[in-house]
Structure 1
Amino acid sequence: MKDNSLEIQFCFPNNSLSCFKKVVPEVEYFVLYIFIFLASVFTVFLKLLVIISISHFKKLHTPTNLLILSLAVADLIVGLIVIPFMGIRFIESCWYFGETFCSIFSFIAFMVVSASLGNLVFISVDRYIAVSDPLRYTVRVTTDKAVFCVIINWLCSSVYSVIIFYNTVFYPETQNICYGDCRIDFTFEHVITDLIVTFVAPSSVIMSIYVKIFCVAKYQAKVVNSVTGASRSQRKAAKTLGIVVMVFFMCWIPYYTVILIEGNDTKESVALNVAYWILYMNSCMNPLIYALFYKWFRISAKHILTLKIFKPSSEYLNLSPEDK
Structure 2
Amino acid sequence: MDSIKYQQNQTIQYCFPNNNLSCTRSIRPESEFIAVYIFIAVTSVFTVFLNLLVIISISHFKQLHTPTNVLILSLAVADLIAGLILMPVQGMKLIESCWYFGEIFCSMFLLILYVVVTASLGNLIIISVDRYIAVNDPLRYPMKVNNSRVVVSIVVNWIFSFIYNFYLLYEFLLYPERNHTCVGECIIYVKLENIILDAFVCLVAPCWVIIPLYVKICFVAKRQAKHLNSVTDKKAKSEKKAARTLGIVVLVYLLCWMPYYLISLSLGHDENDALIVNVMYWIVCINSCMNPLIYAMFYRWFRLSAKYILTLKIFETSSAYLNLFPEEK
CA distance in 2, matches of 1:86, 1:105: 9
Give the one of 57, 61, 73 matched to 2:61: 57
Report the alpha carbon displacement of residue 321 of structure 1 after superposing the two structures with TM: 8.2
What's the counterpart of residue 186 of structure 2?
A: 182
Report the alpha carbon displacement of residue 119 of structure 1 after superposing the two structures with TM: 0.3
Q: 2:306 aligned with 1:301, yes or no?
A: yes
Give the one of 312, 320, 324 matched to 2:325: 320
Give the one of 246, 249, 252 matched to 1:244: 249
Q: Which amino acid aligns with 2:286?
A: M
Give the one of 255, 259, 279 matched to 1:254: 259
Report the alpha carbon displacement of residue 268 of structure 1 after superposing the two structures with TM: 4.6
Q: Which amino acid aligns with 2:203?
A: F
CA distance in 2, matches of 1:260, 1:40: 28
User: Is contact 1:300–1:319 with CA below 8 Å preserved after alignment?
Assistant: yes
Report the alpha carbon displacement of residue 87 of structure 1 after superposing the two structures with TM: 1.5
Give the one of 134, 141, 155 matched to 2:138: 134
CA distance in 2, matches of 1:205, 1:5: 56
Report the alpha carbon displacement of residue 322 of structure 1 after superposing the two structures with TM: 7.4
Seen in structure 2, the aligned counterparts of structure 1 residues 222 and 299 have a Cα distance that, compared at 3 Å, is same
Give the one of 67, 73, 76 matched to 2:71: 67
User: Is contact 1:295–1:321 with CA below 8 Å preserved after alignment?
Assistant: no
TM-score for both structures, normalised by structure 2? 0.94
Give the one of 98, 101, 114 matched to 1:110: 114
Q: Which amino acid aligns with 1:178?
A: C
Seen in structure 2, the aligned counterparts of structure 1 residues 255 and 282 have a Cα distance that, compared at 3 Å, is same
Give the one of 303, 310, 313 matched to 2:315: 310
CA distance in 2, matches of 1:123, 1:268: 37
What's the counterpart of residue 98 of structure 2?
A: 94
CA distance in 2, matches of 1:301, 1:224: 33
What's the counterpart of residue 287 of structure 2?
A: 282
What's the counterpart of residue 5 of structure 1?
A: 10
CA distance in 2, matches of 1:169, 1:191: 16
Report the alpha carbon displacement of residue 278 of structure 1 after superposing the two structures with TM: 1.6
Same amino acid, percent of matched pairs: 57
Q: Which amino acid aligns with 2:241?
A: K
Give the one of 286, 296, 321 matched to 1:291: 296
Structure with bigger gyration radius: 2
Q: Which amino acid aligns with 1:49?
A: L
Report the alpha carbon displacement of residue 52 of structure 1 after superposing the two structures with TM: 0.5
CA distance in 2, matches of 1:196, 1:141: 28
Q: Which amino acid aligns with 1:314?
A: S
Deviations 1:262-292 (A, max 9, x none): 1x42435353333222211111011111011
Partner SS state of residue 140, structure 2? helix
TM-score for both structures, normalised by structure 1? 0.95
What's the counterpart of residue 277 of structure 2?
A: 272
- Give unpaired runs (5+ residues) of structure 2: 1-5
Q: Which amino acid aligns with 1:315?
A: A
User: Is contact 1:296–1:321 with CA below 8 Å preserved after alignment?
Assistant: no
Partner SS state of residue 25, structure 2? coil
User: Is contact 1:230–1:322 with CA below 8 Å preserved after alignment?
Assistant: no
- What is the RMSD of the two structures over their aligned residues, measured on CA atoms? 1.6
What's the counterpart of residue 158 of structure 1?
A: 162
What's the counterpart of residue 224 of structure 2?
A: 220
Report the alpha carbon displacement of residue 225 of structure 1 after superposing the two structures with TM: 5.5
Give the one of 200, 205, 209 matched to 2:204: 200
Q: Which amino acid aligns with 1:252?
A: W
The number of residues matched between the two structures is 321
Seen in structure 2, the aligned counterparts of structure 1 residues 199 and 268 have a Cα distance that, compared at 3 Å, is farther
What's the counterpart of residue 124 of structure 1?
A: 128
Partner SS state of residue 105, structure 2? helix
What's the counterpart of residue 38 of structure 1?
A: 42
Which range is displaced more, 86-95 or 17-26? 86-95
CA distance in 1, matches of 2:266, 2:206: 22
CA distance in 1, matches of 2:326, 2:129: 20
User: Is contact 1:19–1:178 with CA below 8 Å preserved after alignment?
Assistant: yes
- Give unpaired runs (5+ residues) of structure 1: none
